[in-house]
Amino acid sequence: MKTYDIVIVGGGPAGLAAAVAAKEQGIDKILILERDAELGGILNQCIHNGFGLHTFQEELTGPEYAGRFIDQVKELGIPYLLHTMVLHIDHRKRVTYVNQQDGMCQIQAKSLILAMGCRERSRGALNIPGYRPAGIFSAGTAQRLVNMEGYLPGKKVVILGSGDIGLIMARRMTLEGAQVEAVAELMPYSGGLKRNIVQCLDDFQIPLLLSHTVVRIEGKERLRSVTLAQVGQDRKPIPGTERTYECDTLLLSVGLVPENELSRETGMKMNPVTAGPVVDEKLSTDIRGIFACGNVLHVHDLVDYVSEEAGAAGKNAAEYVKRDHDQPEEGKTAPYEFEQEPGESAPIEIVVRGGVRYTVPALIHARPPKEDVTIRFRVGNVYRNCYVAVYVDEERILRRKKQIMAPGEMETVVVKKELLTGQTQTVTVCIEEA
Amino acid sequence: MEIRKLTCIGCPMGCALSVTMEGKEVKSIEGYTCKRGKDYAAKEVTNPRRIVTSTVRISQGVLPVVSVKTKEDIPKEKILDCMHALDGIQVTAPVRIGDVIIDDIAGTGVALVATKNVEAS
């Protein structure tokens, strides 16, 4: 069995940044496994601009942003396999993949970085009643058809869900000559970024119908119409508010779900809120030597943060390979618990309260940690004029005023390493009203 | 005095901007958190501009289309002119990021450039 220091599952923005960071730490035996025909992942179909303001201080399109990292991977001579599907990984960091060149292959990694990204929630997950005609696409599928394959999937469009991809596609379809009738959003606020509402809907006078959903789909061969209705506070349709829109296309932009089928096969601990693995401050899962980063861990709003997080995962994986790696123990069937040295105290738990849905990381092992701990989180509702507060045990160490916080935008706080001592038991992140 | 409320599009923060105008003159700008935001607000009320991104057909490439953008932002009212101008354009692979597809798109004085490397098939 071939052995690699670090195997990276996924050649999108997370996998690329992790690979570059690991290589820069002096790790040479790296392999990136990518199922698509090229590196870059979903960025290749995100042809709109707005990427890279944090990383490169300039505004790039998705393919340009990916191109910067692909160039680095190529310049550094990091090996990668395309058209390669990973079928299985296990807790001993053995990876089974298949491609046309090698057939089915098994390789051993000293460290594994999970960077599989996420995928779109589908119609099936929503229980929309009605027929199943042609013309119903996830927004990302439509994006790929238009931007990479050169097809316009429809002429008259209704979009359900105001996630960023839906907003971006409202503009894209409009520019390509389609008529976008409306964007309907179940919630009383948009899940997308403000800039996208302004640039993709307002610029083209496309109505955003908040607290609306699809209640009927008509058409047998091809979609003929969808019926939207207003919903009440219980998110149930209000009878009498139905309005039918003739259209040939319905795009669904109703959320992203981390793609963790492979992760689950290892038996690693998962977070039911993010649908991603539970990780510590080193982005290590509870299986020694397996790290996770990017949208497989939790869905990000900005690719810049993915690159930053993945860079940290790559660096930490490199350190693990250099210092901590031990040979996989044959015959051990249960996953390892989070590493805990003899005599070492239990990890610091990161507790969420008052509107914070989750944090990444969920726990902190080293005390004090080697570096300040970046905690990323999302809130569960729209909050105006409130405070993000961080407590170390009972003591408040940070309180930052926020004019607005919304579920669509990821928030970040940094906890200074020296504040976390041997006695620290919990770090609490919460929203406090003014 | 007129107060115009805007949402900054410079970055995903989406700062709520408030511009006080007197006729066509900007009197004051509030709500920005960086220089970009201030510049955007001033520009958006006097001369709104956008970067346009799209695709053009490519022959003999590994993909049928290559993504493009206006190298700089163009006047907002020129967006559809720009789309019409790139309709029917066909380039031949290989194309590299930054390659100029059209020198001056829709009389804006701004070039249309490729944003993706597409290899020849």
Same domain, B59 and B109: yes
3-state secondary structure of A73: helix
Same domain, A135 and A245: yes
**Least CB–CB distance from B12: residue in A63, A150, A195:** A195
Which single residue is written with the structure tokens 């955007």? Answer: B40
A343 in any annotated domain: no
**Least CB–CB distance from B69: residue in A61, A149, A199:** A61
In Å, how far are A58, A203, A249, A276 from A174, measured between CA atoms?
26, 11, 13, 35
Query: In sequence order, which ranges of A11-61 are alpha helices (DSSP H)?
Result: 13-24, 53-56
pLDDT at residue A428 is higher than 60: yes
Which single residue is written with the structure tokens 């940070």? Answer: A398
Q: What is the token pair recorded at B57?
A: 């057909």
Q: How many CB pairs under 8 A join A and B?
A: 85
Looking at residue A385, what is its pLDDT? 85
What H or E segment, with its residue span, contains residue A305? Answer: helix A303-319
Contact A143, A165 (CB under 8 A): yes
Same domain, A234 and A162: yes
In Å, how far are A147, A175, A280, B105, B111 from B78, measured between CA atoms?
21, 12, 50, 10, 14
Looking at residue A10, what is its pLDDT? 98
pLDDT above 90 coverage of chain A, percent: 80
A344 in any annotated domain: no
B36 in any annotated domain: yes
Contact A391, A408 (CB under 8 A): no
Contact A8, A321 (CB under 8 A): no
Task: Among B30, B47, B64, give the residue marking a domain's end.
Answer: B47
Same domain, A138 and A245: yes
Contact B12 A193 (CB under 8 A): yes
In Å, how far are A121, A215, A232 from A125, measured between CA atoms?
6, 15, 21
- Exposure string over B59-97, b if 16+ CB within 10 A, otherwise e: eebebebbbbbbeebbeeebbebbbebbeebebebbbeb
**Least CB–CB distance from A67: residue in B7, B10, B97:** B97
Q: In this predicted complex, what is the ipTM?
A: 0.88
B contact test, residue of A43, A143, A146, A148 with most B CBs within 10 A: A148
Q: How far is the C-alpha of B81 from the C-alpha of B83, rounded, in Å?
A: 5
Looking at residue B34, what is its pLDDT? 83
B8 in any annotated domain: yes
Residue B121 CB contacts under 8 Å (≥ 6 apart), including other chains: B60, B61, B62, B93
Same domain, B110 and B58: yes
Same domain, A267 and A279: yes
Same domain, A205 and A247: yes
B120 in any annotated domain: no
pLDDT tier, A203 (very low <50, low <70, confident <90, very high otherwise):
very high
Contact A348, A424 (CB under 8 A): yes
The CATH number of residue A290's host domain is 3.50.50.60
Neighbouring CB atoms inside 10 A of A418's CB total 9
**Taking CB atoms and an 8 Å cutoff, what residues of chain A touch B7?**
194-195, 197-198
A contact test, residue of B101, B105, B113, B116 with most A CBs within 10 A: B116
pLDDT per residue as tens digits for the range A296-306: 999 998 999 99
Contact A67 B16 (CB under 8 A): no
Among A217, A219, A240, smallest CA distance to A227 is for A217
B119 in any annotated domain: no
3-state secondary structure of A377: strand
User: If you average pLDDT over every residue of chain A, what do you get?
Assistant: 92
A345 in any annotated domain: no
Looking at residue B96, what is its pLDDT? 97
Contact B12 A63 (CB under 8 A): no
Task: Among A254, A283, A298, give the residue marking a domain's end.
Answer: A254
Instruction: Report the pLDDT averaged over residues A273-292.
Output: 95
Same domain, A266 and A313: yes
Q: How far is the C-alpha of A96 from the C-alpha of A101, rounded, in Å?
A: 14
B58 in any annotated domain: yes
A2, amino acid identity: K
B97 in any annotated domain: yes
Same domain, B7 and B60: no
A244 in any annotated domain: yes
A229 in any annotated domain: yes
Instruction: Report the pLDDT averaged over residues A376-400.
Output: 92
Q: How far is the C-alpha of A191 from the C-alpha of A199, rounded, in Å?
A: 15
pLDDT per residue as tens digits for the range A96-147: 999 999 999 999 999 999 999 999 998 877 888 888 899 999 999 999 999 9
**Taking CB atoms and an 8 Å cutoff, what residues of chain A touch B83?**
175-176
Name the B residues in 51-110 with CB < 8 Å from any A CB: 51-55, 57, 62-65, 67, 69, 76, 79-80, 83, 97
**Taking CB atoms and an 8 Å cutoff, what residues of chain A touch B9?**
194-195, 198-199
Looking at residue A325, what is its pLDDT? 59
Q: Which domain holds residue B103?
A: 53-114
pLDDT tier, B12 (very low <50, low <70, confident <90, very high otherwise):
low
pLDDT at residue A210 is higher than 60: yes
Looking at residue A343, what is its pLDDT? 58
In Å, how far are A157, A184, A381, B32 from A190, measured between CA atoms?
19, 9, 11, 22
Same domain, B106 and B91: yes
Q: How far is the C-alpha of B66 from the C-alpha of B48, rounded, in Å?
A: 27
Instruction: Report the pLDDT averaged over residues B32-42.
Output: 89
Q: Is B33 on the interface with A (CB under 8 A)?
A: no
Contact B115 A198 (CB under 8 A): no
Q: How far is the C-alpha of A174 from the C-alpha of A199, rounded, in Å?
A: 12
Same domain, A240 and A129: yes
pLDDT tier, A76 (very low <50, low <70, confident <90, very high otherwise):
very high
Same domain, A230 and A332: no
Contact B76 A198 (CB under 8 A): no
Looking at residue A188, what is its pLDDT? 92
Contact B7 A197 (CB under 8 A): yes
Instruction: Report the pLDDT averaged over residues A48-74.
Output: 95
- Of residues B97 and B25, more confidence is placed in B97
**Least CB–CB distance from B14: residue in A61, A67, A193:** A193
**Taking CB atoms and an 8 Å cutoff, what residues of chain A touch B14?**
193-195, 198
Task: Among A337, A366, A393, give the residue marking a domain's end.
Answer: A337
| Closest chain B CA to residue A146 | B55
- Of residues B24 and A267, more confidence is placed in A267
**Least CB–CB distance from B12: residue in A61, A150, A301:** A301
**Least CB–CB distance from B55: residue in A50, A147, A404:** A147
- Of residues A38 and B4, more confidence is placed in A38
What H or E segment, with its residue span, contains residue A265? Answer: helix A261-265
For residue B116, what are the β-bridge partners? Answer: none
Same domain, A149 and A166: yes
Instruction: Report the pLDDT averaged over residues A184-206.
Output: 90
B42 in any annotated domain: yes
Domains identified in chain B, total number:
2
Same domain, B68 and B110: yes
DSSP assignments along chain B, one per residue: -EEEEEE--SSTT--EEEEEEETTEEEEEES-SSHHHHHHHHHHHHS-EE--EEEEEEESBSSSEEEEEESS-EEGGGHHHHHHHHTT-EEES-B-TT-EEESSGGGSS--EEE-S-B-B-
pLDDT at residue A332 is higher than 50: no
Which single residue is written with the structure tokens 């800039």? Answer: A195
Looking at residue B16, what is its pLDDT? 85
- Of residues A126 and B28, more confidence is placed in B28
| Closest chain B CA to residue A49 | B53
Contact B83 A198 (CB under 8 A): no
- Of residues A392 and A367, more confidence is placed in A392
Q: What is the token pair recorded at A146?
A: 């238009």
Same domain, B80 and B104: yes
Among A300, A378, A314, A250, smallest CA distance to A46 is for A300
Q: Which domain holds residue A104?
A: 2-119+257-337
Task: Among A208, A224, A254, give the residue marking a domain's end.
Answer: A254
Same domain, A100 and A21: yes
Looking at residue A148, what is its pLDDT? 96
Which single residue is written with the structure tokens 């976390």? Answer: A420
Contact A199 B50 (CB under 8 A): yes
B26 in any annotated domain: yes
Same domain, B61 and B19: no
pLDDT tier, A224 (very low <50, low <70, confident <90, very high otherwise):
very high
Contact A203 B76 (CB under 8 A): yes
- Of residues A53 and A296, more confidence is placed in A296
Domains identified in chain A, total number:
3
**Least CB–CB distance from B53: residue in A61, A197, A301:** A61
Between β-strands A426-433 and A348-353, what pairing exists: parallel, antiparallel or unpaired? parallel
Same domain, B108 and B61: yes
Looking at residue A423, what is its pLDDT? 86
Same domain, A46 and A160: no
Among B26, A383, B53, A164, smallest CA distance to B6 is for B26
Looking at residue A324, what is its pLDDT? 65
Among A25, A36, A27, smallest CA distance to A4 is for A27
pLDDT per residue as tens digits for the range A298-329: 999 899 999 999 999 999 999 999 986 555 54
Same domain, B66 and B93: yes
Q: Could you tell me how many residues make up chain A?
A: 434
Same domain, A40 and A127: no
pLDDT at residue A403 is higher than 90: no
Rounded to a whole number of angstroms, the distance from the CA of B108 to the nearest CA of chain A is 18
